Amino acid sequence: MCGIAGVVGQGNVVDTLVRSIRTLEYRGYDSCGIAVLQNGALAVKKGVGTVEEVSQAERFSDLDAATGIAHTRWATHGAVSAENAHPFTSCDGRIAVVHNGIIANWTELRARLEAHGHKFRSQTDTEVVPHLIEEQLKLGAADFETAFWQSLNLIDGAYSFAVVTSLEPGRVFVAKHKNPIIIGLGESANYIGSDFNAFIDKTKRAVVFDDDEYGVITKDDFWVKSRLTREVVCKDVTTVQWDAEMAKKGGYPHYMLKEIHEQPHAIRMALGVDARGMAQVVEMLRAAKRIYLVGTGTTYYVALVGQYLFKDHARRFVSAVAADEFTLLAEVDAETVVLAVSQSGETYDTMQAIRCAKAAGAKTAAVVNVMGSSLAREVNVALLQMSGPEISVISTKAALAQMVALYRIAADLARADGTARGDAADVAAAFAALPDLVQQVLNEKSGFLNTLAKHTCGWKDWLFLGRGVYYPIALECALKMKEVAYRHAEGMPAGFLKHGTLSLIDDDICSLIFVPPKRDEALHKMVLANIEQIRAREGHVVGFVYDADESLASLLDERVLLPDVHPSIAPFLELLCGQMFAYFTAVALKRPIDRPRSLAKSVTVP
Ligand code: F6R
């Protein structure tokens, strides 16, 4: 789970490489490195820290070269250390490799290579690759390409690689199996990246690799071949719809805040999701006997919200299953539809769930943000949510937009089934007004939530409680609090509290309650009863509530008052408040907002 970049250009490309891996730091940021071809030989620099720290400490700017590769790491095999940072080189120092993924048979390969005299300097799986290529050359491979191809055939696992060698100046070799790699086509320069962000400031023209493809870029050209047949593959050139500006902070102190503020736009895009794709998904769902929604982390919570949306708007029970448990739990056959949710479209667990479903004959679809991603290419129908790049490791706008896209699917399904709610037109109007309401809450409540967070940031333990659809909203907001503020927050159905967790209520734990509008009478009553249970034990309670709900004034220590809205969209305003509350708590605690410790945005490992 790392970021890979490569360039072949003219003049010095070192700055470009450094910029590229900076944009990929959301994929990992514990160490980084660079390898360039300078005066006919490879020069490698690497170290522990962020790209900014390492590039300065190791003086990357002393390098001057027109061909190179670079890497930013999120450790999987081997501790975070300079030795374990990429790139890795062959014994003769003529081959350098960067890698994203996991080589499953690396211990066998390493033992074999060591028996042939290769010396290893790290504890990583990746280091076998430069030695493997070197060994194939020693064994008589006709040329570097052949040695690279033979090496790929010996590797078992998931990878994207970029390779430079002094044996073939002016070229970067690349390969893909289960992890993403993309070529960017520029003017007198071509680029490699784990995603479009790596080169979006240089070119919008891209070629996306499929599994079992490898290739080469030069300054003016590229080719792609199948690893299976070694024949040239004719690839389409895609035009990326994002631009460099969208991937910048634009005056906000953090990407997380910027992306929270981009939610009105993200919702509008999700409401207008491609009609053709939508019709295909609806047809697929109508023909299905069993429907699963899958995702991981935040997107699993999106799937759980989807479960309630399908029930409320389409009168259908669908199963939300965490992608990492899917293969252990789900019953899948040809009459099953699996609808995956993913921002990056690269998450290993989600991809595995989809691959397993396809293998069992199921139909697959996805709501996904990144065009050309592995998931978008793997499923039968991909609905692109078009939220724009989400750079912060903490997912906000993508998640809210995905929930809105799931509402759209449920509403269209109900219309096709003839089971639409009587007030479906009112609900649609409420969703159409959601972007403006989100904007209003951003404008009016940011200051209050900031002050509240400053008051409450001392609480180390939280219960986040909700009922109905507010339960997965509470789960998602608790995840935000954990990942960005490093505060223990346990999301739970409020009705579950009395079955055990109530014993935790004391002076050391604070409860945040997600209260529905009073118009949602039955749900409102239930939550009220749960708040009473906490108050009876003198627990401290904060609530997200709707205007004019005086029934709660005496029960809550602190309240965030929201404008009275249609119950169908109320949960989304509370999600917004939960995101902002976690953000401001993290700011108050001086956390590194966009890059929390131990996390990476795109989890491409099991
Ligand atoms: C949380 C977060 C993660 C991701 C999860 C799935 O803020 O970002 O929980 O939601 O790793 O990632 P995608 O959506 O890229 O499949």
* Selection from 542, 273, 235 nearest residue 386 by Cα: 273
Predicted local confidence at residue 250, as pLDDT? 73
In this predicted structure, the answer to whether residue 263 has a pLDDT above a threshold of 70 is yes
Question: Ligand 1 pocket, 483 CB below 6 A?
Answer: yes
Instruction: Determine the distance separating the centroid of ligand 1 and the alpha carbon of 296, expressed in angstroms.
Output: 6
Q: What is the mean pLDDT of residues 182-189?
A: 96
Distance between CA 375 and CA 146 in Å, rounded? 30
Distance between CA 470 and CA 584 in Å, rounded? 21
Instruction: Determine the distance separating the centroid of ligand 1 and the alpha carbon of 173, expressed in angstroms.
Output: 30
Instruction: Determine the distance separating the centroid of ligand 1 and the alpha carbon of 345, expressed in angstroms.
Output: 10
Contacts of 365 (CB under 8 A, 6+ apart): 280, 281, 284, 337, 338, 339, 340, 379, 380, 381, 382, 383
Higher per-residue confidence, 548 vs 319: 319
Among residues 2, 32, 510, 577, the one annotated as catalytic is 2
- Looking at ligand 1, which atom is closest to the CA of residue 375? 16
What secondary structure letter does DSSP report for 142?
S
Question: Ligand 1 pocket, 48 CB below 6 A?
Answer: no
Topology classification of domain 443-597? Rossmann fold (3.40.50)
Active site residue 601: yes
Whether 3-240 shares its CATH topology with 251-421 is answered: no
Question: Ligand 1 pocket, 298 CB below 6 A?
Answer: yes
pLDDT tens digit string along 224-249?
A: 999 999 999 999 998 887 766 666 77
Question: Ligand 1 pocket, 343 CB below 6 A?
Answer: yes
- Looking at ligand 1, which atom is closest to the CA of residue 601? 8
If one residue of 1, 296, 402 were mutated to test the ligand 1 pocket, choosing by the most ligand atoms within 8 A of its CB, it would be 296
Please provide the CATH number assigned to the domain covering 251-421. Answer: 3.40.50.10490
- List the residue whose alpha carbon is closest to atom 15 of ligand 1: 344
In this predicted structure, the answer to whether residue 39 has a pLDDT above a threshold of 90 is yes
Predicted local confidence at residue 1, as pLDDT? 67
Task: Quote the mean pLDDT of the chain.
Answer: 94
When mean pLDDT is compared across 189-193, 206-210, 266-270, 594-598, the lowest value belongs to 594-598
Distance between CA 338 and CA 57 in Å, rounded? 48
Domain boundaries in the chain? 3-240, 251-421, 443-597
- Taking residue 533's Cβ as centre, other Cβ atoms within 10 Å add up to 15
Q: Could you give the C-alpha distances from 113 to 101, 107, 119, 512, in angstroms and in order?
A: 20, 10, 8, 56
In this predicted structure, the answer to whether residue 363 has a pLDDT above a threshold of 80 is yes
Starting from the edge strand earliest in sequence, which strands make up the sheet with 290-295, in order? 319-322, 290-295, 336-342, 363-368, 381-384
If one residue of 26, 254, 298 were mutated to test the ligand 1 pocket, choosing by the most ligand atoms within 8 A of its CB, it would be 298
Could you tell me the two tokens for 485? 């503020």
- List the residue whose alpha carbon is closest to atom 10 of ligand 1: 298
- Looking at ligand 1, which atom is closest to the CA of residue 603? 11
Question: Ligand 1 pocket, 197 CB below 6 A?
Answer: no
In this predicted structure, the answer to whether residue 326 has a pLDDT above a threshold of 80 is yes
Instruction: Determine the distance separating the centroid of ligand 1 and the alpha carbon of 74, expressed in angstroms.
Output: 15
Instruction: Determine the distance separating the centroid of ligand 1 and the alpha carbon of 346, expressed in angstroms.
Output: 10
155 CA to centre of own chain: 26
- List the residue whose alpha carbon is closest to atom 5 of ligand 1: 297
Predicted local confidence at residue 196, as pLDDT? 87
- List the residue whose alpha carbon is closest to atom 16 of ligand 1: 342
Predicted local confidence at residue 553, as pLDDT? 82
232 CA to centre of own chain: 32
- List the residue whose alpha carbon is closest to atom 9 of ligand 1: 297
Distance between CA 300 and CA 536 in Å, rounded? 33
pLDDT tens digit string along 61-90?
A: 999 999 999 999 988 778 899 999 999 999
Instruction: Determine the distance separating the centroid of ligand 1 and the alpha carbon of 8, expressed in angstroms.
Output: 32
Active site residue 234: no
Structure confidence at residue 153 as a pLDDT band (50, 70, 90): very high
- List the residue whose alpha carbon is closest to atom 8 of ligand 1: 395
Q: What percent of the chain clears pLDDT 90, i.e. is strictly above it?
A: 87
- List the residue whose alpha carbon is closest to atom 6 of ligand 1: 296
pLDDT tens digit string along 268-278?
A: 999 999 999 99
Residue length of the chain: 606
Predicted local confidence at residue 597, as pLDDT? 84
Q: Report strand pairing: 205-208 vs 290-295.
A: unpaired
SS3 346: coil
Instruction: Determine the distance separating the centroid of ligand 1 and the alpha carbon of 299, expressed in angstroms.
Output: 6
Q: What is the mean pLDDT of residues 528-554?
A: 89
When mean pLDDT is compared across 53-57, 134-138, 500-504, the lowest value belongs to 500-504
In this predicted structure, the answer to whether residue 594 has a pLDDT above a threshold of 90 is no
Instruction: Determine the distance separating the centroid of ligand 1 and the alpha carbon of 342, expressed in angstroms.
Output: 7
Contacts of 180 (CB under 8 A, 6+ apart): 100, 160, 194, 195, 208, 209, 346, 373, 374, 604
Question: Ligand 1 pocket, 350 CB below 6 A?
Answer: yes
Predicted local confidence at residue 570, as pLDDT? 97
In this predicted structure, the answer to whether residue 605 has a pLDDT above a threshold of 90 is no
Report DSSP letters for 534-557, one per residue.
Answer: HHTTT-EEEEEEETT-GGGTTT-S
pLDDT tens digit string along 197-232?
A: 899 899 999 999 999 999 999 999 999 999 999 999
* Selection from 297, 358, 364, 295 nearest residue 326 by Cα: 295
Distance between CA 305 and CA 473 in Å, rounded? 7
Instruction: Determine the distance separating the centroid of ligand 1 and the alpha carbon of 528, expressed in angstroms.
Output: 32
Question: Ligand 1 pocket, 602 CB below 6 A?
Answer: yes
pLDDT tens digit string along 422-445?
A: 999 999 999 999 999 999 999 999
Topology classification of domain 3-240? Glutamine Phosphoribosylpyrophosphate, subunit 1, domain 1 (3.60.20)
- Looking at ligand 1, which atom is closest to the CA of residue 398? 14
pLDDT tens digit string along 274-320?
A: 999 999 999 999 999 999 999 999 999 999 999 999 999 999 999 99
Among residues 178, 397, 445, 601, the one annotated as catalytic is 601
Predicted local confidence at residue 245, as pLDDT? 66
